[in-house]
Amino acid sequence: MATTYAKAAETAEAVEYAARLEHVSKSFTGPGGRHLVLDDISLDVAPGEFVTLLGASGCGKSTLLNLVAGLDQPSAGFITTDGRPALMFQEHALFPWLTAGKNIELALRLRGVGSSERRARAEELLELVRLTGAYGKRVHELSGGMRQRVALARALAQDSRLLLMDEPFAALDAITRDVLHDELTRIWEETGLSVLFVTHNVREAVRLAQRVVLLSSRPGRVAREWTVDIPQPRRIEDKPVAALSLKITEVLRGEIRRHGRY
Ligand SMILES: Nc1ncnc2c1ncn2[C@@H]1O[C@H](COP(=O)(O)OP(=O)(O)O)[C@@H](O)[C@H]1O
Ligand SMILES: [Mg+2]
């Protein structure tokens, strides 16, 4: 019943996980009564690990990510994270009246970075997401892909060790998404962050992750998981990526058939 933020720096101990979920369940009460969405989920994300959480629409992926983010509480079980996680969604949620740079600076201000440092740090983060020069641009001047880059920079500005991503590239065209997959892989390798990335797209899950965790539907349970030991950088059309995706898709189809919807 608890979300705890473990502070590694304070205990000076090496943490063995970036996130730990122990027997987590979540129910919602609606007009039809109580509705079990997540059932007894146990899952660890190791420090520096990239895990994708894959499942059909409505299986509870966002619910699970919100619990890890501490935005909601589990009905049963425990969630522990190494510090407060950063979050990134499908919708960029940038403030349209602020420039790209100021959107990032806002996140820096919220974590107490002094005003003299904020500008330089924002410029650095824009450089990291390959948007050098976009500091003064307003949100409406940026393409969808650029907005998600700013949203990623803003999430990185929180200086969390765990990044939670909820279908962040789902609304982008395939080419832009490909480029952002490359960027995310590069940034993950450069920063050593742990990432828990939610998607319903099997190939995206395999393209990005070291480990793919498949959730079943109604209720969401861990159905299967796969270690992906294909070297990075991968391409979504690489043969080993396609072959593993096919295998996972078959299992996912079985799950969907069992529950009668996608
Ligand atoms: N706040 C809520 N109250 C009631 N039901 C909810 C709430 N949030 C999510 N649900 C239900 O939980 C299920 C899983 O939703 P969600 O986590 O958004 O799935 P996914 O992200 O995998 O598509 C859905 O049936 C949805 O209607
Ligand atoms: Mg969702």
Q: Return the CATH number at 189.
A: 3.40.50.300
Q: Kindly list the protein residues that place their beta carbon closer than 5 angstroms to ligand 2, a single-atom ion.
A: 62
Locate the ligand 1 atom nearest the alpha carbon of residue 64 and give its number: 17
Q: Could you tell me the pTM of the whole model?
A: 0.93
Q: Which pLDDT band, with edges at 50, 70 and 90, does 247 fall under? A: very high
Q: Please tell me whether residues 177 and 254 are part of one structural domain.
A: yes
Does 32 contact ligand 1 (Cβ within 6 A)? no
**Cβ–Cβ < 8 Å for 157, 112:** no
262 confidence band (pLDDT: 50, 70, 90): very low
168 and 70 share a domain?
yes
Same domain (yes/no): 223, 192: yes
- Whether residues 119 and 237 share a domain: the answer is no
Interval between CA 77 and ligand 1 midpoint (Å): 18
On whether both 69 and 101 belong to a single domain, the answer is no
pLDDT band at 3 (very low <50, low <70, confident <90, very high): low
Same domain membership, residue 218 and residue 170: yes
Indicate if 140 and 31 belong to the same structural domain.
no
Same domain assignment for residues 249 and 197: yes
Residues 75 and 167 in one domain: yes
CA-nearest of 153, 90, 81 to 124 is 153
Per-residue pLDDT, 142? 96
**Ligand 1 atom closest to Cα of residue 63:** 17
Query: How do residues 132-156 score in pLDDT, each as one tens digit?
Result: 999 999 999 999 999 999 999 999 9
Ranking 31-45, 204-218, 247-261 by mean pLDDT, the lowest is 247-261
Ligand 1 mean position to 59 CA, how many Å? 7
* Among candidate residues 139, 159, 179, the one where a domain is terminated: 159
Q: Is 218 in the pocket of ligand 1 (CB under 6 A)?
A: no
Q: Is 58 a pocket residue for ligand 1 (Cβ < 6 Å)?
A: yes
Instruction: Kindly give, in sequence order, each residue whose CB lies less than 8 Å from that of residue 117, ignoring residues fewer than 6 positions away.
Output: 108
Instruction: Report in angstroms the alpha-carbon separations of 49 from 20, 52, 70, 159, 211.
Output: 13, 10, 20, 16, 8
What is the residue range of 210's domain? Answer: 2-85+160-259
**What is the whole-number distance in angstroms between the Cα of residue 56 and the centre of ligand 2?**
9
Alpha helices in 111-173 (DSSP H): 115-128, 144-157
CB 53 within 8 A of CB 112: no
Q: Are residues 111 and 210 in the same domain?
A: no
Number of domains in the chain: 2
Final residue in a domain of this structure, among 159, 190, 207? 159
Answer yes or no: is pLDDT of 34 > 60: yes
The answer, yes or no, to whether residue 10 has pLDDT greater than 80, is no
